[in-house]
Structures are given as structure tokens and as C-alpha cells.
Amino acid sequence: DAAARDAAGDFARDVLVQIHDRSRLAVDPPVGGWDRDISTSEEIVNAATAYDLLLGAGYDLGADRAEIVRRLASVTDELRTNFVDLSTAGGVAQLHQNNHRTKSGAAMAVAAVALGGDVDDELARRWWDTGVDLVDDVQRHVLITGDGAYAEGPFYYRFTLQNLLPFLDAWERHLGTGSWTTADGLTVPFLGDRPQFARTQRWMLDLTLPDGTLAPIDDGNPGRSSYFGALPSTLPTAAAGYWRWADTPQPLETDGNVDLGPEAIVAYDLALAPAPPTWAPTQFYVEGGNAVFRSAWSDDATMALVLGEHDTASEFGRDRTGAGRYPQSHEHAEPGAFLLEAFGERLALDPGYLSFSEHDEVNRPEHHNVVLVDGAGPADYLDASFAWADDPFGRPPAEGQATIAATLDSGSLDAATVATAYRGATIARRFLFGDDRYLVVADAIDADPGIELTWMVHGNGGGTSGGTFEATATGGRWTIGGGRLDAAIASTAGTP
């Protein structure tokens, strides 16, 4: 009713006249900090879309309009300045070459559209140009592989979508699907209808667990569902996305620091019937570094996800010129790691993510199901990322770069090999997924005599898990809920 609409408008107006008018990158803690461009970008997207919606609905902001415009323009311009002038905000924007860059760029562009006509045209043009440059830089070059995988993992792609989808909507609404040429002469295509963008959405579906949540690899929190219903309905995966959007512990998910409910209302096509994917449950992303073994698309399916990442997929991506982009901080050095789920239970675990300040507690090789060489895996990739500065056109200075090869998808057996090398050992891990039920891992290792090899398996049982663990003569047994993992190891060199 009219009174409720007016009350909602009044509430939004009262919030908008109080939005922080500074880039939090340039403000000391606790209000700001070196990584708080994330917060600023989300505040800009929320404020810009709310302002645009109020005007579109005919709400009269009266004398408050000028203050809202001033605040939103001030924070947007300072955020842009922090990214293009590294003498500001201590130059910390140089550290943000990942989701930060996409989210901040998307926010600048959304503000440029929302404040069109309220600010000088050249000012809005600068915001838009910088914004589309930053988004394109990450989403077509630095962190997306040719087969669509996103290097930071599904969790951070979900996080990125909170800003990216409003940006794509604004672009298509005002420019259609055409490209844009910046004042500096850079031509940027519309990301939303690029085949690479479509492949990423399919990758996101393929990297859902049987319960519909996103696989918690790299820095990824377990138990998160993605925004499949807010994606463009023209995607070839739209029907499968709608099915997955509803078939998950957080059905019809839109919540986040930027709520995508409005985008979902506009984007969702009621004429399109949700349906499980029509493609094979087992999929291989060789460039993306993921081998997905899946028995079916049902909630009680058996699924194993194997990791064998290199170059871009391991966050050693390159910009438009071919130069390595650094630093990157959300990658785990876990060549040949795997997770296993079956019968609605997590059985063999990937540690995932707690928070950025705590990720060292779960991001080391020994936290994953990998082979350790003399008790260690590859050296930390963040250090290697910084070291790449010495020769950014050369190979990444990182051990443990891995490649997936020799893939097979058949009626009774699926298979893939992960080849890697670190700590003086060359390792080929052959994964066999038999009868949609059994996972066999066969390691062929070339290492000097006397090197100690450790086969890590992290099962879900014992301790405070709610399940049980018992050691066996050849391995161990983990029992949790209705699922059980029996793990055994054998060696050609004798009893392990």
C-alpha cells in the first residue's frame, strides 16, 4: 500500500544520507583498513542501486538528494583514485588483484550509471572507464581459465557475483551487449554474453556437491549456495541453474553483503522449467585443474573432486600483456588433493576456509589429502606469488604446479591422472572411480632413496565430528551419519 511504500522510501533515504563518504582503504581501522575496499565497494553498490530505485519509483528525495549524491560521488571518486594513483591510501590497492579488483571496479561502474545526470559527465565517464577496465582485467584474463574455472574457487566467485551481477545488469540495460571503448582506447567486450562467462556458470554447477552447496576448495567456506537464479536466463545452463538454486540447503539464495533479490526477481524466467543438468555427471576441467567424478545428480550421489591446478588455475594468472599478476592470496598448494562425498555425508575432507585472518590454520599442504615428501608439500604459493615480481614474463617460481591428463569417462569406470613435482619428487596420481562407488588412488613416485613419503587422508569421524574413527591394519575407517569411508594403503615397496 501507499503508506508502506512511503515508509520504505523514508527508511532508504535516511540510510542514504548517512553513507560513509570516504574510501575505507584510505581510512584507519576500525572504520577502514588495507583490505576494506571490499566494504566500500559493497556500500557503493547498495547505495547506488537504492538511489536509482527510489528515483525510478518516483520517490521525492527533496533537499536530501544533493547530500546523497555528494556522499556517493565522494566515496566512488576516492575509491577510484586509490586504484589508479598508488601514492594514495599507502598504495595498498596494489595488493588487490583478485575479487577485490572486480568488486571495486563493478561498484565504480554502477555508481557512474546511477549518478548519470547528477554529476559531471566526464567524472562519471572516468568511474565507468576504470570500473570496466578492472572487471575485464580479472574476469577475462587474470583469474579465469579458458574452460571457465575461477582461480579463487567457487566460494569467492559467489562473493564476486554480489557486485558483478548488478554491474552486468547496468551495462546491458544501457549499452545492450555491445562493447565499450574507454577514453584511453581500450575496447572491452560485454562479459555477460561471452562464451567464457557461460563456461564459468557451468563450472560453478559442476563444482556443487551432491547437496547443492559449493565445493569448499582453496579459501572456500563449506555449506554455501550460489545465486543461480539471479543469472541471465539466456545462459545455456539456465534450467540446470534454476534446479540447483532450489535444490540446496539454502534454497533460492540471494543473501549476502549485497542482496541479489532484486536481480533474481528481474532475471528469473518463469517460463523456463528447472531441470537437472543434461550433461554427464563426471566432468574434467584440464585447464581449470578440476576432475569431477560424480555418480549422478541426486542428493545421495557419490562424488569425488580431484585438484590438479597450474598457471591461472593456481592463481598464477597473466594480464592482457602476458605479464604475471601478483600477489594472490587465496590459493592452497595441494597438487593431487581430493575430497569425497557419498550418501549425503562428507567422507574425505578438504579443509576449506575459516576466514582470511585464520586461513593459515587450514591452507597448508598437510591439511589436504596429498602426498608429503619428508613431511612437507610445496612451499606456500603466496611467497611464490610475490617472488614472481622478479620475472613476471617467466614461469611462476612455484613447485607443485599440476596437470590433469589421461581422462576417461565410461559406463563403469572414470579416471584421471594428476602429474606434479615438488621437494625433489615427481608424482603421478592416477584416480580411478569405479562402479560409481569406489575411489582408487595409485601413486607412481620417483624420489631419491631415503626420502620419507606420507599419504595424507583426512576423514570425517572421531573427535567432535559426531562420527567415529578406528585404525585398521592397512589404514582407517571413518563413520559419520549414514556414510562410511574405509581407506587402505598398499605399496610395492612393502608394508607402509
Q: What is the pLDDT of residues 44-103, one digit of tens each?
A: 999 999 999 999 999 999 999 999 999 999 999 999 999 999 999 999 999 999 999 999
What are the grid coordinates assigned to 470, written together? 578406528
Instruction: Name the residue among 409, 381, 369, 413 with its Cα closest to residue 285.
Output: 409
pLDDT number for residue 492: 84
Does pLDDT of 496 surpass 80? no
- pLDDT (tens digit per residue) in 170-184: 999 999 999 999 999
Number of structural domains found in the chain? 2
Asked if residue 494 has pLDDT above 90, the reply is no
* Identity at 463, one-letter amino acid code: G
Give the C-alpha separation, 185 to 106, whole Å.
19
**47 and 83 share a domain?**
yes
Could you tell me the three cell numbers for 279? 550433461
Helix (H, G, I), strand (E, B) or coil at 342: strand
Do 392 and 423 fall within a single domain?
A: yes
Tell me how far apart the alpha carbons of residues 379 and 290 are, in angstroms, rounded to a whole number.
21
Q: Mean pLDDT throughout 308-327?
A: 98
Task: Please give the backbone phi and psi of residue 151, each rounded to the nearest 5 degrees, phi first.
Answer: -60, -35
Please give the average per-residue pLDDT across 172-198, as a whole number: 97
- Kindly state whether residues 303 and 384 are assigned to the same domain: yes
Residue 219 and residue 343 in one domain: no
Q: Place 212 in a pLDDT band, splitting at 50, 70 and 90.
A: very high
What pLDDT score does 431 carry? 98
Contact predicate 121/260, CB 8 Å: no
- Predicted confidence at residue 173, as pLDDT, reads 95
What is the domain range of residue 368?
283-488
pLDDT at 466: 94
Q: Look at residues 243, 267, 291 and tell me which one is the last residue of a structural domain.
A: 267
Q: Does residue 327 sit in the same domain as residue 407?
A: yes
What's 453's domain CATH number?
Answer: 2.70.98.70
Contact 137, 319 (CB under 8 A): yes
Residues 162 and 255 in one domain: yes
Shared domain for 262 and 296, answered yes or no, is: no
pLDDT recorded at residue 493: 77
Mean pLDDT of 330-344: 96
- The pLDDT value given to residue 195: 97
pLDDT at 454: 95
Residue 178 lies in a domain: yes
Contact between 266 and 260 (Cβ < 8 Å): no
User: What do you get for the CA distance between the two ends of the chain, in Å?
Assistant: 73
Q: Which three cell numbers stand for residue 66?
A: 544533493
Q: How many angstroms separate the CA atoms of 256 and 259, rounded? A: 5
Give dist(CA 348, CA 368) in Å, integer. Answer: 10
* pLDDT at residue 88 in the model: 98
CA-to-CA separations, 42 to 97, 175, 325, 483, in angstroms, rounded: 17, 23, 24, 40
Output the average pLDDT for the chain. 97
Do 149 and 15 share a structural domain? Answer: yes
Any alpha helices (H) in 207-275, and if so which ranges? Answer: 238-246, 261-267
Phi, psi for 413 (deg, rounded to 5): -150, 130
359 and 247 belong to one structural domain: no
Q: Which residue has the cell 559419520?
A: 480
pLDDT band at 359 (very low <50, low <70, confident <90, very high): confident
Helix (H, G, I), strand (E, B) or coil at 422: strand
| CATH code of residue 205 | 1.50.10.100
Has residue 375 been placed in a domain?
A: yes
Q: How many CA atoms lie within 13 A of 167 on its CB side?
A: 30
pLDDT on residue 462: 92
Residues 289 and 370 in one domain: yes
Interval 209-214 mean pLDDT? 98
Q: Torsion angle, CA of 317/322/327/329, rounded to 10 degrees?
A: 0
Amino acid letter for position 21: D
Average pLDDT over residues 402-418: 98
| Whole-prediction pTM | 0.96
Q: Above pLDDT 70, what percent of the chain?
A: 100
For the chain, give the number of residues: 496
3-state secondary structure of 44: helix
